[in-house]
Amino acid sequence: MVEPTTFTLPVWVAVAARGALRQLRGEPFQAEESLELLEPPGQCPVPLEEAAPLGNGEALAISRCDPGPGLDLTRGLAVWVRARWGEASGAAPGDASAPGRCFQLRAGEGVGRLGPGGDPCLSDYCLRLLQVNLAPLVPPDRVVELEVLLPQGRALAERTSNAAFGVVEGLALIGTQAQVQSSAAPQQLERALGELRRRAALPGGCPDLVLVVGENGLDLAGRFGLPAPLLLKAGNWIGPLLAAAAELGVQRLLLWGYHGKLLKLAGGIFHTHHHLADGRAELLTALAALEGVAGATLAALFEAPTVEQALRGLALADAAAAERLRQRLVRSIEQRAAAYIKRTAGLQLQPGVALFDRSRQLWALGPVGEQLWRELAP
């Protein structure tokens, strides 16, 4: 039994889905469901706010997000799941389904999509969580059709960086584990350091490591072939983890993250939370000036509201300069990261860097990152 704790959005979706499914089965409402959480393994009671049949062969259940202490815009978010029985003979277009899965899932209002009208943006963890918790209640010849709705999701998504990753129309369901982890909290650093020490104590040590920034980075890593055992979520605490990796014997280290976040390292900013430091516009402008960008083009780069728009505008104005800036940026990050390790740990370790953009595509590899990418993500 996992101790009760605060949960990520996929868990609240799963408990509402299970509550709605029970209503389809004619079972009485239960104020909590014992869910198998998978990450970490074990069962835990999760509260359910409401559930009822709708009278037309459908049922609805509602859970209420509790992300725990700290700043989290999903606090109090209502998660609605509408359910009805379907046939196991295939999925309709737009369903998040797969052969052998006991459910079909549609993105309703407030759930993020990968581009307008695209597929729902949800993690493999979310899908596995639904499967393991719904399968015992679904007859083998049927599936349960689920529609997830987040009535406040569209408005809340405007306060996130979802659009920077191509996620539109609502909130993404991309948690990779049950428990909430604040990327800025000291506890996140302690958890990451503890996991790094655990790996280093294994018989083979920890020679290879991929430090990942953010849930989007974790979600994309597997799609690009980065092996799951090498991944370690760094949150915003990149500097201390770089030093610890060198001290614990890591020999090949790849930094993987969104270019709008990791570019801060090019300016020597190794705690990347925006409440602590930003400077991205200043960094882009300085690096672009070193590549010969000047005048109105340089001013437009500085004044752009987002990193993505700044880079796109430069590419339209001077494609060659944009490519030179891209290469200078990844080289600078690699050089600064190596210098940080030398300064803080007194050791030689040259990290590589791999960056993705808002379209969730590989955007740039540093000189070291290119070699590590070939070796670690064949």
What domains sit in the chain, N to C, each tagged with a CATH number?
A: 9-171 (3.30.2110.10), 186-376 (no CATH)
The rounded distance, in Å, linking the Cα atoms of 317 and 304 is 13
Nearest by Cα to 61 from 43, 42, 84, 45: 84
Sorted by sequence, the CB contacts under 8 Å of residue 343 that are 6+ apart come out as none
44's enclosing H/E stretch is strand 43-47
Q: Are 12 and 79 in contact (CB under 8 A)?
A: yes
pLDDT one-digit tens code per residue, 242-288 = 999 999 999 999 999 888 788 888 888 776 655 455 678 888 899 89
Among the listed ranges 5-19, 160-174, 315-329, which one has the minimum average pLDDT value? 160-174
The reported pLDDT for the residue numbered 5 is 58
Q: How confident is the model at residue 177 (pLDDT cuts 50, 70, 90)?
A: confident
> How many Å separate Cα 213 from the centre of its chain?
8
What's the full length of the chain, in residues?
A: 378
Give residues with Cβ within 8 angstroms of 43, minimum separation 6: 1, 2, 34, 35, 36, 37
Q: Which of 102, 104, 120 is nearest to 112 (CA)?
A: 120
Residue of 232, 237, 238 lying closest to 218 (CA atoms): 232
pLDDT in tens, 122-164: 888 899 999 999 999 999 889 999 999 999 998 888 777 666 6
Helix, strand or coil, per DSSP, at residue 229? helix
Compute CA distances 109 → 113, 155, 157, 168, 297, whole Å. 10, 11, 12, 11, 40
The C-alpha R_g of the chain, in whole angstroms, comes to 22
For residue 122, list its beta bridge partners.
173
Instruction: Give residue-wise pLDDT tens across range 10-44.
Output: 999 999 999 999 999 999 999 999 999 987 788 99
**3-state SS class at 214:** helix
